Every structure is written in structure tokens, then in C-alpha cells.
């Protein structure tokens, strides 16, 4: 069983409900050089009343950031 080390969504800081589908992303913090990476967790399912899940929003922002960086 996969265990999410974070108890909250890395995107909106809402608590991750047990049993909810989510995505775990390994994050290497340059400040922790040589240390164990940390994990960010994003719910893969949209919260009721919201468009798209936090994971989709996070991915979208990442794409936008990448595009901007390339354009600069
Ligand atoms: Zn969230």
C-alpha cells in the first residue's frame, strides 16, 4: 500500500481524505542537498464543486511555467 507522507494537498493545503485518489510527486529541495527527497501530494480527483483536480491544476501551472521559461 502506498502511503502519502503529507497529510495535506501541496496545491491548496486542504487535507487529503483517506481513500481519495491522489498523486505523489518526489521533490528534490536544493537546500537539502544530499538529503532524502520530500514528497508532495495532490488529490487526483476534483473536489466537489471545483473544475479539475489539484493535480491537474498543478500540472497546468507547471506547463505554463515551462512555456514561459522557454519564451524568455
Ligand atoms: Zn488541493
Residue 1 confidence (pLDDT): 42
Strands (E), the chain: 22-27, 38-43
Q: Which residues in the chain come in under a pLDDT of 50?
A: 1
Find where cell 505554463 sits.
64
Residues, CB within 5 angstroms of ligand 1 (ion): 9, 11-12, 14, 54
pLDDT recorded at residue 54: 92
Which 3 state secondary structure label does DSSP give 43? strand
Burial class (CB in 10 A: 0-12, 13-18, 19+), 5: exposed
Other Cβ atoms closer than 10 A to 59: 15
Model confidence, pTM: 0.67
Could you tell me the distance, in angstroms and rounded to a whole number, from the CA of residue 22 to the centre of ligand 1? Answer: 10
38 Cα to the center of ligand 1, angstroms: 18
Amino acid at each position: 500500500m502506498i502511503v502519502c507522507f503529507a497529510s495535506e494537498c501541496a496545491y491548496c493545503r486542504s487535507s487529503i481524505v483517506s481513500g481519495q485518489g491522489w498523486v505523489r510527486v518526489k521533490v528534490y529541495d536544493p537546500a537539502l542537498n544530499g538529503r532524502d527527497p520530500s514528497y508532495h501530494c495532490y488529490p487526483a480527483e476534483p473536489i466537489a464543486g471545483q473544475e479539475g483536480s489539484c493535480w491537474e491544476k498543478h500540472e497546468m501551472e507547471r506547463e505554463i511555467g515551462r512555456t514561459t521559461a522557454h519564451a524568455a
